[in-house]
Structure 1
């Protein structure tokens, strides 16, 4: 499984200017998506990951604002990705090595996980692609534009986040498709503990 591409893509988002055909229309789209994301305080469901080499894996995910995330892969993959509000860690349940950690604030998922989301005024979105059935936001890091891109895909009628795609500098794409989503349930804080995941090995 190319989990390194999932993680590498987490560094591919910063702030940049909105570049759409019609800034006012783009601003209206971002306000609509802001309202949707701000109303989503927690979420859980199933995901499928598609890697650039044609392989795929699946598992369960949990999100809770602000800053908490957990992706647990189905067997035979032993990996769990956990964000505890400060760090994102990749825990290998088949290894005694310390998990790799990355600042959660340097990941694009921080954009989704922050307490209040303001896509337009933070300048996070580079461009918008819209069709009758979906809207895609494309983002890059203006301080390191060669580091890769992030796309967030939303279905329409009703508006819902359905997937994101990271592309690394080598052009390798990793797609996380949210196969299901239940929102605004009570998720306990301790399920997002990196230390507890390490102890479970």
Structure 2
């Protein structure tokens, strides 16, 4: 098992890390790495999985565990449901992003601007060419898995480093570290690539009586 690095800096957070004896191949040059990542992501039209998420502070102490289910479809659509230890729903319909907290009876609505689309979950639903232009990409192979590490070219991002882990063609883990050293580890299971997804999952109807906070950037 690998010591996964994790992602959290907003509700749209992701990442993973791992422990084990593996032999790493030399890192590929950036252009080759970006090309390899493009080959993995371009055929991905939609993606569905359950997830387990672990968040660690800079000292490696566990801050939070969560589990849930996610659905993703290009372009720009996402549904991310946290089931435990609390309920939370994030939905992107391609135009706006809704963060709904049932316990607080509150929903925050943000437009799909560049800052929001650079959150890790929505990166996967976006344009692949934009992804490889906005980040330096490094490729490694460990224990038969392909690891692509993305480092932002801009300082205006929610993470300092994001890694995507693939087993053959399938994304199995996301690792992220932010500027405070906080890490998020997300492992995906029960994965379906390019299956049938009900498009209504990406529509969010605000429940009656819910407080609505609209954020404009």
Q: TM-score, normalised by structure 2?
A: 0.70
The structure where helix makes up a greater share of residues is: 1
Give the Cα separation in 2 of the matches to 1:120 and 1:5. 19
Q: By how many angstroms is 1:173 displaced?
A: 0.5
Give the Cα separation in 1 of the matches to 2:28 and 2:194. 34
8 Å Cα contact 1:83-1:89 kept in structure 2? yes
What's the Cα RMSD here?
3.0
1:39 is aligned to 2:51: no
Q: Deviations for 1:142-187, whole angstroms, at most 9, x for unmatched residues?
A: 321785323233234x232111122121101111211231011222
Q: TM-score, normalised by structure 1?
A: 0.75
Aligned pair partner of 1:199 in 188, 207, 214: 207
Map 1:103-118 onto structure 2 (within 5 A): 103=112, 104-114=116-126, 116-118=127-129
Structure 2 runs not aligned, ≥5 long: 1-6, 15-25, 211-217
1:136 is aligned to 2:172: no
Cα gap change, 1:33 to 1:172, in 2 (>3 Å): same
8 Å Cα contact 1:138-1:149 kept in structure 2? no
Tell me the SS of whatever aligns to 1:144.
coil
The structure where strand makes up a greater share of residues is: 2
Give the Cα separation in 2 of the matches to 1:120 and 1:76. 32
Aligned to 1:190: 200
